[in-house]
Amino acid sequence: MSKVLCSVSTRGRYFTTLPLTLQAIINQTKKVDKLIIFDDNDDPQDMRNELVYSYFFQMLDIKKIDWEWRFAEKKGQHFNHQVANTMGFKWVWRVDDDALPEPNVLERLFMYTSDDVGAVGGSILTPPLGGYFESSGLIEDIDKEPNIQWSEIRMMKNVEHLHCSFLYRAGICDYNLKLSRVAHREETLFTYALHKKGYNIIVVPGATTWHLKNPDGGIRSETKKELYHHDEQIFRNFIRAKDKTIIVLNCGMGDHIIFSKILPEIENADVYSCYPEIVPGKSIAEAEHLFGDLDQWNIYKKMDQWNWKSSLENAFRKMYL
């Protein structure tokens, strides 16, 4: 059974859009197996004392939907999404706290899940609507076209990245935790990583989420331009390396020797190495500067996550081939 966790990260929206988001999740035609709300507010409150929330929590209980309200670390929503990503569910449906999925959205997204699918998204619409347009959804076109999800989606299509709210295969890729608190582009980087990993990223028709783009709360309450600039630089560095396989060997000498056996099989390798005399490459410091979080290439962390029993060489194969 493929279990679905619904993850909502919220900040500054207790009494505006968050209740609408929760209502929309509760009223889905396909129930989630668990709902987790990460409360990233500067001054978190006990919402059980609020009438509407009290009713929501009772409705979740009546519908036998497991739920959890977790006071988060206030480091940004990417940290919360990473927690959800590693909670042991096969799929995570992430919903922004100013997004209102129509009742059939999860059911529609889930219909398209299969072994080769990494993430599924639908239309993300904000009133007033513009006209219909078609976009490629390719990362190389990201500066040339509006996001494909901002228009009606009329047929299923493979893309390379998704935006805002979507259903994704958990535990495959990590969120980049070196992004700033605003986590600008975090979902684009995350879904693009799933695409690079070889999974299909798709948009599907008949799954509309209304995005109310609340000007208060969320990342839009952060106005420091340098935070956005920092995150944008990391994003651009990933895009520049889009045709390469980024390899970061932040590990021991023996690990480098084992890795060197599979290096010839990797196309367009862009290597960052601790021991360039064993595996030639640029420095780890440079990798950190370009890509921020290097944990996604930490082979020991990955083997731990995967409950790995096979050889280290095979672990490198799983990571890079």
Partner 1 sequence: MIIIAPFAQKLRNNKENPKNYAYWNQLVYEIQKFEQVVQVGVTGENQLVDDFRKDLPISELKKLIAECKTWISCDSFFQHLAWSEGKPGIVLWSVSDPLIFGHPENTNLLKNRKYLEPNQFLWWEYVEHKDYKFVDPSEVLKYLK
Residue from 116, 226, 267, 277 in contact with partner 1 (CB under 8 A): 277
Q: Is 4 exposed, middle or buried (0-12, 13-18, 19+ CB in 10 A)?
A: buried
Among 146, 198, 254, 280, binds partner 1 (CB under 8 A): 254
Q: Which of 65, 284 has the CB closer to partner 1?
A: 284
Q: Specify the residue, 29 or 311, whose C-beta has the smaller distance to partner 1.
A: 311
By beta-carbon proximity to partner 1, the closer residue of 231 and 255 is 255
Q: In one letter, which amino acid is 64?
A: K
What minimum distance in Å lies between the beta carbon of 318 and partner 1? 13
Separation between Cα atoms, residue 264 and residue 270, nearest integer Å: 12
Which of the stretches 6-14, 82-90, 178-186, 248-256 binds partner 1 when contact is defined by CB under 8 A? 248-256
For 282, other C-beta atoms within 10 Å of its C-beta total 14
280 binds partner 1 (CB under 8 A): no
- Any residues with CB less than 8 A from the CB of 88 and at least 6 apart, and which? 170, 171
Cβ distance to partner 1 smaller for residue 215 or 254: 254
Cα distance from N-terminal residue to C-terminal residue, the chain: 28
Question: Does 260 help bind partner 1 (rule: CB under 8 A)?
Answer: yes
Q: Of residues 252, 268, 286, 289, which one binds partner 1 by CB under 8 A?
A: 252
The stretch near partner 1 (CB under 8 A) out of 168-176, 199-207, 242-250, 258-266 is 258-266
Q: To the nearest whole angstrom, how small is the minimum distance from the Cβ of residue 313 to partner 1?
A: 9
242 or 317: CB nearest partner 1: 317
Interface of this chain with partner 1, residues 281 to 310, rule: CB under 8 A: 300-301, 303-304, 308-310
Q: Candidates 57-65, 186-194, 212-220, 246-254 — which segment interacts with partner 1 by CB under 8 A?
A: 246-254
Per CB under 8 A, does 253 bind partner 1?
yes
Residue 106: Cβ within 10 Å count:
26
**Please, is 275 exposed, middle or buried when counting C-beta atoms within 10 Å of its C-beta (0-12, 13-18, 19+)?**
middle
DSSP 129-181: P---------GGGTTTS--GGGS---S-EEES---SSEEEETTSS---TTS-T
**218 Ramachandran zone, left/alpha/beta (phi>0; psi -120 to 50):** left
261 binds partner 1 (CB under 8 A): yes
- Answer positive or negative: Cα dihedral of 299, 301, 302, 307: positive
Instruction: Return the residue of 278, 282, 288, 294 that touches partner 1, per CB under 8 A.
Output: 278
Which is nearer to partner 1, 212 or 258 (by Cβ)?
A: 258
Among 20, 59, 212, 312, binds partner 1 (CB under 8 A): 312
Please identify which residue in 27, 233, 268, 311 interacts with partner 1, judged by CB under 8 A: 311
**Interface with partner 1 by CB under 8 A: which range of 102-110, 116-124, 148-156, 257-265?**
257-265
- DSSP code string of 208-245: EEEE---SSSGGGG---HHHHHHHHHHHHHHHHTTTSE
Q: Which residues of 214-248 are buried (b: 16+ CB within 10 A; e: fewer)?
A: beebbbeebeeeebbebbeebbeebbeeeeeebbb
Task: Give CA 3 to chain center in angstroms.
Answer: 17
Residues that bind partner 1 (CB under 8 A): 252-255, 257-258, 260-261, 277-278, 300-301, 303-304, 308-312
